[in-house]
Amino acid sequence: MNPNNPSLITIAIDGYSSSGKSSMARHLAKTIGYRYIDSGAMYRAVALHALRNGMISHADNSVDADRLIAALPEIAIDFEVTGDTQSTLLNGENVETEIRAMAVSQCVSPVAAIPQVRHALVAMQQKMGESKGIVMDGRDIGTTVFPDAEMKVFVRASAQTRAQRRLSEMIEKGIATTFEEVLANVVSRDHIDETREESPLRCADDAVVLDNSFMSVEEQNKWLIDLYNRIISSL
Ligand code: CDP
């Protein structure tokens, strides 16, 4: 509990790529007046920096880990909130659109598997959550970043459903891609995220699991707020 405001808690929402956890997390944070942090955007910003600076192999998306680790002190990541929009800043530049491109999706999981990258970002994330009143989504929030979070959710859905959702999102944004390319990326990232040595994607023992394959956006938002209300009233 935050001693200055004992009603504030920490909320960790983890799950598979494109499971809809970011939109659920953002909606919950807005409804209850909490700060929302998209930890995936932070890994994407580091991956973009690596991509721009020639640290990613064109052949197989492997990373020059030594160069990236040496460059970590030069990478500053922040978030800027304008009205309802939250943008990711990489060294002060708004890179919100660029970090969602397929080129970044294809190299982000190898970047996120580097232990030194994880240590740097986890430390930043823990600092952001020091005063509680935060909703953070990602892969290791309930297991590694905030193992003592009062509310933990783990979101899953079939790979086909997730790829279809991500494809619709990308088409809406005018990003050229195909279902096959998106599905291959979702499956490959799941595999790298689940099998890496350092804080792999894993459901925390005390997380509540949600399979939202057959749920509408409204249904999943209501499910999350009901869970939050139950947890708050039990504290
Ligand atoms: O939006 P989507 O669910 O596809 O992914 P994201 O949340 O933007 O995360 C992009 C990638 O960053 C993931 O595939 C992971 O490899 C990595 N990530 C991570 O390792 N740990 C986190 N806490 C968040 C993201």
Q: Looking at residue 144, what DSSP letter applies?
A: I
Q: Which of 22, 18, 75 is nearest to 46 (CA)?
A: 75
Atom of ligand 1 nearest to the CA of 15: 3
Atom of ligand 1 nearest to the CA of 14: 23
Widest CA span in the chain: 53
Atom of ligand 1 nearest to the CA of 38: 7
In angstroms, rounded to a whole number, what is the distance separating the alpha carbons of residues 142 and 206?
Answer: 9
The answer, yes or no, to whether residue 118 has pLDDT greater than 90, is yes
Question: What's the whole-model pTM score?
Answer: 0.94
233 Cα–ligand 1 center, Å: 31
Q: What is the residue with the minimal CA distance to atom 20 of ligand 1?
A: 112
pLDDT, tens digit (0-9, with 9 covering 90-100), for 33-60? 999 999 999 999 999 999 999 999 999 9
Could you tell me which residues come within 8 angstroms of residue 102 by beta carbon, excluding any fewer than 6 positions away?
170, 175, 177, 181, 185
**Cα 39 to the chain's mean position, in Å?**
4
Determine contact, residues 128/84, Cβ cutoff 8 Å: no
**Cα 6 to the chain's mean position, in Å?**
26
Q: Calculate what percentage of the chain has a pLDDT beyond 70.
A: 98
201 Cα–ligand 1 center, Å: 9
Q: What is the residue with the minimal CA distance to atom 16 of ligand 1?
A: 109
pLDDT, tens digit (0-9, with 9 covering 90-100), for 124-151? 999 999 999 999 999 999 999 999 999 9
In angstroms, rounded to a whole number, what is the distance separating the alpha carbons of residues 211 and 103?
Answer: 28
Q: What is the mean pLDDT of the chain?
A: 95
The answer, yes or no, to whether residue 6 has pLDDT greater than 70, is no
pLDDT, tens digit (0-9, with 9 covering 90-100), for 65-90? 999 999 999 999 999 999 888 999 99
User: Could you tell me if the CB of 39 is within 6 A of ligand 1?
Assistant: yes
